[in-house]
Protein backbone atom coordinates (compact mmCIF):
# COMPACT_ATOMS: atom_id res chain seq x y z
CA UNK A 1 0.00 0.00 0.00
CA UNK A 2 1.39 3.39 -0.98
CA UNK A 3 -1.41 5.53 0.35
CA UNK A 4 -2.44 6.82 3.75
CA UNK A 5 -6.09 6.11 4.58
CA UNK A 6 -8.18 7.83 7.23
CA UNK A 7 -11.41 6.18 8.40
CA UNK A 8 -13.90 8.04 10.58
CA UNK A 9 -17.01 7.26 12.59
CA UNK A 10 -18.43 10.78 12.85
CA UNK A 11 -20.22 11.93 15.98
CA UNK A 12 -19.79 13.92 19.17
CA UNK A 13 -17.31 11.17 20.02
CA UNK A 14 -15.56 10.51 16.72
CA UNK A 15 -13.76 7.23 16.18
CA UNK A 16 -10.76 7.31 13.88
CA UNK A 17 -8.31 4.89 12.30
CA UNK A 18 -5.30 5.89 10.23
CA UNK A 19 -3.33 3.50 8.07
CA UNK A 20 -0.14 5.23 6.96
CA UNK A 21 1.62 4.18 3.78
CA UNK A 22 4.32 2.73 6.05
CA UNK A 23 4.02 1.62 9.64
CA UNK A 24 1.33 0.39 12.00
CA UNK A 25 -2.30 1.43 12.12
CA UNK A 26 -3.08 4.23 14.57
CA UNK A 27 -6.57 4.49 16.03
CA UNK A 28 -8.59 6.02 18.81
CA UNK A 29 -11.46 8.35 19.53
CA UNK A 30 -11.79 12.06 20.22
CA UNK A 31 -14.59 14.13 21.75
CA UNK A 32 -16.06 17.12 19.96
CA UNK A 33 -18.52 17.89 22.72
CA UNK A 34 -19.38 21.58 22.92
CA UNK A 35 -17.54 23.22 25.81
CA UNK A 36 -19.11 25.57 28.33
CA UNK A 37 -19.33 29.19 27.06
CA UNK A 38 -18.55 28.00 23.54
CA UNK A 39 -20.64 28.82 20.47
CA UNK A 40 -22.21 25.94 18.54
CA UNK A 41 -19.84 26.31 15.61
CA UNK A 42 -16.73 25.78 17.70
CA UNK A 43 -17.22 21.99 17.60
CA UNK A 44 -16.73 22.11 13.82
CA UNK A 45 -13.75 24.46 13.98
CA UNK A 46 -12.06 22.12 16.47
CA UNK A 47 -12.86 19.15 14.18
CA UNK A 48 -11.34 20.92 11.18
CA UNK A 49 -8.21 21.83 13.18
CA UNK A 50 -7.92 18.21 14.38
CA UNK A 51 -8.14 16.93 10.77
CA UNK A 52 -5.38 19.32 9.72
CA UNK A 53 -3.17 18.25 12.64
CA UNK A 54 -3.73 14.59 11.75
CA UNK A 55 -2.80 15.31 8.12
CA UNK A 56 0.35 17.17 9.19
CA UNK A 57 1.42 14.43 11.62
CA UNK A 58 0.85 11.64 9.09
CA UNK A 59 2.64 13.47 6.28
CA UNK A 60 -0.39 13.30 4.03
CA UNK A 61 -3.78 11.65 3.71
CA UNK A 62 -4.71 10.15 0.34
CA UNK A 63 -8.26 8.90 0.97
CA UNK A 64 -10.96 9.35 3.61
CA UNK A 65 -13.78 6.90 4.34
CA UNK A 66 -16.56 7.62 6.81
CA UNK A 67 -19.64 5.87 8.15
CA UNK A 68 -22.66 7.01 6.17
CA UNK A 69 -25.67 7.34 8.45
CA UNK A 70 -29.14 7.38 6.91
CA UNK A 71 -31.22 7.37 10.08
CA UNK A 72 -30.58 8.94 13.48
CA UNK A 73 -32.14 8.18 16.84
CA UNK A 74 -32.39 11.87 17.71
CA UNK A 75 -32.46 15.31 16.17
CA UNK A 76 -29.33 16.51 18.00
CA UNK A 77 -27.31 13.53 16.75
CA UNK A 78 -28.49 14.23 13.19
CA UNK A 79 -27.44 17.87 13.45
CA UNK A 80 -23.99 17.01 14.83
CA UNK A 81 -23.43 14.34 12.17
CA UNK A 82 -24.53 16.70 9.39
CA UNK A 83 -22.22 19.45 10.61
CA UNK A 84 -19.25 17.10 10.94
CA UNK A 85 -19.91 15.59 7.53
CA UNK A 86 -20.16 19.05 5.92
CA UNK A 87 -16.92 20.10 7.62
CA UNK A 88 -15.18 16.86 6.58
CA UNK A 89 -16.25 16.97 2.94
CA UNK A 90 -15.36 20.67 2.64
CA UNK A 91 -11.96 19.99 4.21
CA UNK A 92 -11.38 17.05 1.84
CA UNK A 93 -12.36 19.16 -1.19
CA UNK A 94 -10.02 21.94 -0.04
CA UNK A 95 -7.11 19.48 0.25
CA UNK A 96 -8.04 17.50 -2.91
CA UNK A 97 -8.52 14.31 -0.89
CA UNK A 98 -11.06 11.82 -2.25
CA UNK A 99 -13.71 10.76 0.27
CA UNK A 100 -16.49 8.20 0.41
CA UNK A 101 -19.31 7.36 2.78
CA UNK A 102 -19.85 3.69 3.58
CA UNK A 103 -23.28 2.41 4.71
CA UNK A 104 -23.51 1.05 8.24
CA UNK A 105 -24.76 -2.38 7.13
CA UNK A 106 -21.88 -2.75 4.68
CA UNK A 107 -19.35 -2.01 7.42
CA UNK A 108 -20.93 -4.42 9.92
CA UNK A 109 -21.32 -7.22 7.36
CA UNK A 110 -17.68 -6.94 6.30
CA UNK A 111 -16.46 -6.86 9.92
CA UNK A 112 -18.66 -9.58 11.42
CA UNK A 113 -20.52 -11.34 8.61
CA UNK A 114 -23.80 -9.79 9.83
CA UNK A 115 -25.22 -6.52 8.53
CA UNK A 116 -27.09 -5.97 11.79
CA UNK A 117 -24.23 -6.78 14.18
CA UNK A 118 -24.25 -5.16 17.60
CA UNK A 119 -21.64 -2.72 18.85
CA UNK A 120 -20.19 -5.48 21.04
CA UNK A 121 -19.84 -7.79 18.01
CA UNK A 122 -17.96 -5.14 16.02
CA UNK A 123 -15.67 -4.48 19.00
CA UNK A 124 -15.02 -8.23 19.33
CA UNK A 125 -14.26 -8.51 15.61
CA UNK A 126 -11.71 -5.69 15.78
CA UNK A 127 -10.12 -7.20 18.88
CA UNK A 128 -9.88 -10.52 17.03
CA UNK A 129 -7.84 -8.68 14.37
CA UNK A 130 -5.41 -7.59 17.09
CA UNK A 131 -6.64 -4.06 17.79
CA UNK A 132 -6.90 -3.16 21.51
CA UNK A 133 -10.25 -1.37 21.12
CA UNK A 134 -11.85 0.40 24.08
CA UNK A 135 -14.69 2.33 22.40
CA UNK A 136 -17.41 1.37 19.89
CA UNK A 137 -16.68 4.49 17.79
CA UNK A 138 -13.03 3.45 17.52
CA UNK A 139 -14.12 -0.09 16.56
CA UNK A 140 -16.40 1.28 13.84
CA UNK A 141 -13.57 3.40 12.42
CA UNK A 142 -11.29 0.35 12.34
CA UNK A 143 -14.02 -1.68 10.63
CA UNK A 144 -14.35 1.05 7.98
CA UNK A 145 -10.57 1.05 7.51
CA UNK A 146 -10.47 -2.74 7.04
CA UNK A 147 -13.38 -2.53 4.58
CA UNK A 148 -11.52 0.14 2.57
CA UNK A 149 -8.25 -1.80 2.53
CA UNK A 150 -9.99 -5.04 1.53
CA UNK A 151 -12.44 -3.69 -1.07
CA UNK A 152 -11.14 -0.43 -2.50
CA UNK A 153 -8.25 0.14 -4.87
CA UNK A 154 -6.18 2.22 -2.47
**Cα separations (Å) of 15 from 2, 59, 69, 100, 153?**
23, 20, 14, 16, 23
Architecture of domain 5-151: 2-Layer Sandwich (3.30)
Q: What is the pLDDT of residue 18?
A: 97
Ranges of each domain in the chain: 5-151
Work out the pLDDT band at 154, boundaries 50, 70, 90: confident
Q: What is the pLDDT of residue 77?
A: 82
DSSP letter (8 states) at residue 37:
T
Q: Per-residue pLDDT tens for 5-58?
A: 999 999 999 999 999 988 899 999 999 998 888 888 999 999 999 999 999 999
DSSP letter (8 states) at residue 116:
T
Q: Per-residue pLDDT tens for 66-110?
A: 999 877 677 888 889 999 999 999 999 999 999 999 999 999 999
**Cα separations (Å) of 52 from 29, 49, 87, 130?**
16, 5, 12, 28
Q: Per-residue pLDDT tens for 107-134?
A: 999 999 999 999 999 999 999 999 999 9
> How much is the pTM?
0.94
Q: What is the spatial distance between Cα 51 and Cα 87, in angstroms, rounded to a whole number?
A: 10
Cβ(106)–Cβ(115) below 8 Å = yes
Q: What is the spatial distance between Cα 94 and Cα 33, in angstroms, rounded to a whole number?
A: 25
Q: What is the pLDDT of residue 112?
A: 97
The larger pLDDT score, comparing residue 137 to residue 35, is at 137
Cβ(99)–Cβ(64) below 8 Å = yes
Q: What is the pLDDT of residue 40?
A: 83
Amino acid sequence: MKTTILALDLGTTTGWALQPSEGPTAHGFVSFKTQRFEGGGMRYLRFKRWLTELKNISGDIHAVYFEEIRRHAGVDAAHVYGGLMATLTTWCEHHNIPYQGVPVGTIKKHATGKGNASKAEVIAAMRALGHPVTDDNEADALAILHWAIDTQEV
